């Protein structure tokens, strides 16, 4: 059987996830259970959603440095407005998604660097989050709480959700004509434009879709933590970028993989649990996370070489 | 048309115009009482952003994708270890400075080894590096707050002819960086690499060596800044570098350096650093709360980019 290069690119992220999982099970056999798996991967759901959002932005060659503050903002809205007056909460989210689409348009029309515009937006989202929740608090909407703590038979919720996210985004990004056009914009926006498509519209739609997934990440996060805080998800900016890269995505050229991105997010979450099972002193936990990142990327390099060798044959 | 041409040729004028406007608005609000104190504070705090900004600028000049996210961790580690080494003794000031430069050199080499040997994108390589560096800082700090040597602390907090000493240090470093960028072969090389790495390699420029030196330079400037900041604020703290991650990128871009690389601008970094500090203090004097202050800061950054933007960019 001949494997496509897309499948090959997925092997390393998947293999590193399995390896890490095996190491966790070896050290803590009790984790090999329904509850254990749920605990291990629980926090992965919001990270996976944020990673997907970042991946969409990266597929049109941009980078969103406001992801962490935006997810924090969404979490604050979920824990306050969405809980007390759902209609207003949904309206705020629609406004935020429209703001994302607008950012996508402004970046394209004025030919601005996305890094700087989203950097500026990160202050705006952070400020709005502080205005909504000056101190940690709020309550998760009951349905979000129910959804995140649901216990489906056989497979834990976190796994079901991750598979669902991967499947849905795979359909959107890899199977739909919109997904092809979106990645086309990342690959060569001029040829997409010459073919008669509106790059402006495509970029606006991509940004709006990314905003939508980031909103979901905020709701999922609050469903897990039950309350919110203006700084709750600041780590997500860097985690989401690292997740996309770990999953085989690239910064330019529209080369992204939704399944890879979800696997990347799971790997990053598991790396955290792995380190606490290793009983590494808390001083070195962050450092060890960096080391894991480096090792996985080194493995990817080895695989890329393999892929090239196969192509040249 | 001539004015338009001048503005296009010197993009840093924007950041200075914005700075002067904000300064006047703030001073007017306080009835002129604060003009001297405000200027001094602005120069002091801008100096730290300028030092890290210059390093980040050299890295960004290298072209799309080049960025150093290890700046905050480097600042923290260098401040922590230097103060620990000096141990409040005046005789150790130079040793401490050399140690922090050494730390910068090691981190810079580490960053580039990851980028080159493992072909990791710089943004992820420097991020992984910063995790490790931060861990070393946490391990070595242990929550202790060691004071800087008396003479060094005096130097960092006092001024000469009304200009803060740290601003003078930043000025000297900026002039050196300007000479390096505009008058030396190394400066031509990094601009050439930023404009087209392929063409630069074809032209026989030692691309890898130049990039290695640039990442080392950025890390050394960050560690010197950490050393100064720790001496200025009376001790190193584990989060002392955190705000300089976004700051170092923001001042470079607002200052008119092309994000796509190949075209950099040192005067603009001064304008942007002063501007960023003055905006925050202006919003403070007007009595805005933390939330509004953040929102307005963000909107002002975007407005400046919109006004000055439209140049070549990394998208």
What is the enclosing helix (H) or strand (E) of B164? Answer: strand B163-164
- CB-neighbour burial class of residue B37 (10 A; exposed 0-12, middle 13-18, buried 19+): exposed
**Contact status, residue A84 vs residue A137, Cβ threshold 8 Å:** no
- Beta-bridge mates of residue B114: none
Mutation for A interface: B124, B258, B299, B300, most A CBs within 10 A: B124
Of B114, B118, B301, the CB nearest to A120: B301
Q: Which residue of A has its CA nearest to B132?
A: A287
pLDDT of B231-262, one tens digit each?
888 877 777 877 888 788 888 877 777 766 66
Residues 6 or more apart whose Cβ sits within 8 Å of residue B56: B67, B68, B71, B218, B248, B249, B251, B252
Smallest Cβ–Cβ distance between A241 and the set B123, B131, B250 belongs to B123
> Considering just the CA atoms, what is the radius of gyration of chain B in Å?
19
Residue A251 has a pLDDT of 76
Rounded Cα distance between B263 and A224, Å, is: 46
CB within 8 Å: A294 and B315: no
B160 forms bridges with which residues in the sheet? B163
Kindly report, residue by residue over B170-212, the tens digit of the pLDDT.
889 999 988 988 888 888 888 888 888 888 888 888 888 888 9
Measured CA to CA, the distance from residue A235 to residue A130 in angstroms comes to 17
State phi, psi for B25 to the nearest 5 degrees: -60, -45
Query: B313–A112: do the CB atoms touch at under 8 Å?
Result: yes
Q: How confident is the model at residue A218 (pLDDT cuts 50, 70, 90)?
A: very high
Which of B118, B136, B301 is the closest to A287 by Cβ? B136
Angle between helices B35-61 and B266-285 (to 10 degrees): 140
What tens digit of pLDDT does each residue of A117-175 get?
Answer: 888 898 899 999 999 988 888 888 888 888 888 888 888 888 889 999 999 999 998 88
Angle between helices A86-109 and A199-225 (to 10 degrees): 140
Q: What percent of chain A has pLDDT over 70?
A: 96
CA dihedral A135, A52, A272, B65 (to 10 degrees): -100
Contacts for B127 with CB less than 8 Å, ≥ 6 apart:
A238, A241, A242, A290, A293, B69, B70
Q: Is the dihedral of CA A204, B123, A121, A111 positive or negative?
A: negative
Question: Which chain B residues have a beta carbon less than 8 Å from that of A107?
Answer: 315
Instruction: Give B-chain residues touching A294 at CB under 8 angstroms.
Output: 114, 118, 120, 125, 128
| A20, two tokens | 């890490």
Is B143 touching A (CB cutoff 8 A)?
no
Q: Which of A199, A200, A205 is nearest to A56 (CA)?
A: A205
Two tokens at A303? Answer: 């695989």
Query: What DSSP state is assigned to residue A228?
Result: B
* Chain B contact set for A110 (CB, 8 A): 306, 309-310
| Helix (H) / strand (E) containing B179 | helix B165-183
* pLDDT tens digits, one per residue of A76-85: 999 998 888 8
Query: B196: which DSSP letter?
Result: -
Would an 8 Å CB–CB cutoff place B307 in contact with chain A? no
Answer yes or no: is pLDDT of B11 > 70: no
> Is some CB atom of chain A closer than 8 A to the CB atom of B139?
yes
The contacts of residue B281 (CB under 8 Å, 6+ apart) are: B26, B38, B41, B42
Phi–psi pair at A250, nearest 5 degrees: -130, 155
């Amino acid at each position: 059987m001949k494997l496509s290069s897309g499948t090959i690119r997925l092997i390393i992220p998947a293999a590193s996830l399995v390896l890490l999982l095996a190491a966790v099970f070896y050290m803590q056999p009790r984790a090999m259970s329904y509850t254990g798996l749920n605990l291990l991967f629980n926090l992965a759901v919001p990270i996976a959603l944020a990673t997907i959002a970042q991946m969409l932005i990266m597929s049109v060659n941009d980078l969103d440095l406001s992801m962490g503050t935006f997810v924090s903002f969404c979490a604050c809205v979920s824990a306050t407005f969405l809980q007390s007056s759902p209609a207003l909460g949904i309206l705020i989210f629609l406004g935020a998604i429209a703001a994302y689409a607008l950012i996508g348009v402004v970046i394209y029309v004025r030919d601005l660097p996305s890094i700087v515009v989203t950097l500026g937006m990160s202050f705006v989202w952070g400020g709005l989050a502080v205005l909504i929740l000056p101190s940690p608090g709020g309550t998760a909407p009951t349905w979000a709480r129910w959804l995140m703590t649901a216990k489906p038979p056989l497979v834990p919720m976190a796994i079901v959700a991750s598979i669902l996210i991967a499947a849905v985004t795979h359909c959107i990004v890899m199977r739909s004509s919109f997904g092809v056009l979106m990645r086309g914009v990342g690959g060569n926006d001029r040829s997409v434009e010459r073919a008669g498509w509106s790059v402006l519209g495509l970029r606006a739609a991509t940004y709006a879709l990314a905003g939508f997934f980031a909103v979901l990440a905020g709701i999922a996060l609050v469903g897990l933590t039950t309350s919110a805080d203006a700084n709750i998800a600041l780590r997500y900016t860097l985690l989401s970028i690292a997740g996309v890269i770990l999953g085989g995505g690239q910064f330019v050229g529209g080369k992204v993989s939704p399944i890879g991105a979800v696997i990347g997010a799971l790997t990053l979450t598991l790396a955290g649990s792995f380190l606490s099972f290793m009983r590494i002193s808390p001083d070195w936990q962050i450092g060890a996370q960096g080391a894991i990142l480096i090792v996985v990327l080194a493995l990817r390099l080895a695989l890329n070489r393999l892929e090239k060798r196969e192509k040249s044959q | 048309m001539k004015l338009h041409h001048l503005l296009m040729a010197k993009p840093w004028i924007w950041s200075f115009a914005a700075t002067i406007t904000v300064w006047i608005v703030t001073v007017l609000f306080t009835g002129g009482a604060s003009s001297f104190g405000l200027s001094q504070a602005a120069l002091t705090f801008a100096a730290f952003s300028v030092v890290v900004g210059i390093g980040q600028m050299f890295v960004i000049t290298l072209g799309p994708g080049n960025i150093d996210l290890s700046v905050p961790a480097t600042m923290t580690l260098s401040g922590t270890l230097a103060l620990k080494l000096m141990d409040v003794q005046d005789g150790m000031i130079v040793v401490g400075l050399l140690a922090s430069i050494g730390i910068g050199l090691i981190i810079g080499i580490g960053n580039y080894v990851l980028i080159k040997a493992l072909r990791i994108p710089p943004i992820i390589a420097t991020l992984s590096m910063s995790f490790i560096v931060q861990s070393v800082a946490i391990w070595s700090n242990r929550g202790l707050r060691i004071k800087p040597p008396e003479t060094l602390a005096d130097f960092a907090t006092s001024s000469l002819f009304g200009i803060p000493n740290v601003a003078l240090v930043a000025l000297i470093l900026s002039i050196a960086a300007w000479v390096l960028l505009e008058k030396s072969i190394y400066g031509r090389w990094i601009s050439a690499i930023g404009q087209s790495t392929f063409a630069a390699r074809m032209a026989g420029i030692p691309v890898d060596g130049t990039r290695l030196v640039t990442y080392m330079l950025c890390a050394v400037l960050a560690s010197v800044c950490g050393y100064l900041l720790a001496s200025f604020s009376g001790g190193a703290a584990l989060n002392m570098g955190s705000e300089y991650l976004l700051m170092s990128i923001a001042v470079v871009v607002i200052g008119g350096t092309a994000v796509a690389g190949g075209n950099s601008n040192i005067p603009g970094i001064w304008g942007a650093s002063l501007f960023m500090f003055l905006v925050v203090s202006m919003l403070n004097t007007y009595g805005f709360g933390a939330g509004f202050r953040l929102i307005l800061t963000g909107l002002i950054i975007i407005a400046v980019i919109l006004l000055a933007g439209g140049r070549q960019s990394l998208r």
